[in-house]
Amino acid sequence: MKRSPSSGGVLAKLAVMVVATAMTAAWLLSVRQQRIMAAHDLIQAHRRTVENEKTLWRLRVEIAKLLTPDRIEQIAGAAGPMRPMTPEPDANEKALAHSPEQGERRSEYR
């Protein structure tokens, strides 16, 4: 039996078309999957952001509660006798120069 010269060409074209279609479909699927993964990661990141924001809110309130005048007074009292700040900065520096610890402490509150 003798094959038609055109049938081989058509078969080859068909095979190329099917393979090309399959590759395109696979590529499209892969892109779509990547998009889904990215969106999923985005949602997870968003949820973590929301959780972190909630933690931040809670910490802000806790910090505020620890910074009341009463509390600062207690801390200052426990830190030892403190000298009032004098209006003249030079005099202040002189007063604090005697105690390196006080100098450090003062810089913390600046």
Angle at 67 between CA 86 and CA 56, to 5 degrees: 135
Residues that bind other proteins (CB under 8 A): 1-4, 6-7, 10-11, 14, 18, 21, 35-36, 39-40, 42-44, 46-47, 50, 53-54, 57-58, 60-61, 63-65, 67-70, 85, 87
Minimum gap (Å) between residue 23 Cβ and other proteins:
14
The answer to whether 94 touches 101, Cβ cutoff 8 Å, is no
| Minimum CB distance to other proteins smaller for 2 or for 98 | 2
| Minimum CB distance to other proteins smaller for 40 or for 83 | 40
Question: 80: which residues sit within 8 A by CB, 6+ positions away?
Answer: none
As a whole number of angstroms, the distance between CA 88 and CA 43 comes to 57
| Minimum CB distance to other proteins smaller for 35 or for 94 | 35
| Minimum CB distance to other proteins smaller for 44 or for 99 | 44
Cβ atoms < 10 Å from Cβ of 81? 6
Helix (H) or strand (E) run with residue 79 in it:
none
Minimum gap (Å) between residue 49 Cβ and other proteins:
10
**Three-class DSSP category at 88:** coil
Minimum gap (Å) between residue 29 Cβ and other proteins:
11
